[in-house]
Amino acid sequence: MKAVLQRVSEAAVTIEGNKVADIKAGLLIFVGIEDADTQEDIDWLAAKIVKLRIFNDADGLMNLSVQDVNGDVIVVSQFTLHAATKKGNRPSYIKAAKPDAAIPIYEAFVKQMEKELGKDIQTGKFGADMKVSLLNDGPVTIIIDTKNKE
């Protein structure tokens, strides 16, 4: 699994003109799933994200997690995170899992995030044409790949 985390002051997801997710301070997480992903990847990634200290403390240092600041979270599926761009000018998405494999992993990740965070999170809609708006705070953007843990 690959994830792109953006610390946000606000974020929203709109599908066909309808706002389906809307948060204030917290994280907007784009997640890409590949066929090799397992429950171990889900558990590790959710725990890592919830504990990652990327929010400012009283001294302005990044010492607090999204859990510490009681931040909100939106998770959006994004298969394009697995784009291979080495050859040619048209990205290949061969590593991205097909929907029948990816949807259960995505849903399990959302549930695990809720369990780790201790509250409900918001989502986009898997496979939908989504319009995502955000106000990146910092800017802080972190990329995590569960296949590159060390």
Domain boundaries, the chain: 2-145
The rounded Cα 145 to chain-centroid distance in angstroms is 11
Annotated catalytic residue 38: no
Residues 38, 80, 85, 123: which is the catalytic one?
80
Tens digits of per-residue pLDDT, 63-118? 999 999 999 999 999 999 999 999 999 999 999 999 999 999 999 999 999 999 99
32 strand-pairing partners: 2
CB 12 within 8 A of CB 133: yes
pLDDT reading at 150 higher than 80: no
Provide mean pLDDT across the span 113-125: 97
Is CATH 3.10.20.90 what the domain over 2-145 is classified as, yes or no? no
Provide mean pLDDT across the span 111-129: 96
> Mean pLDDT in the chain?
96
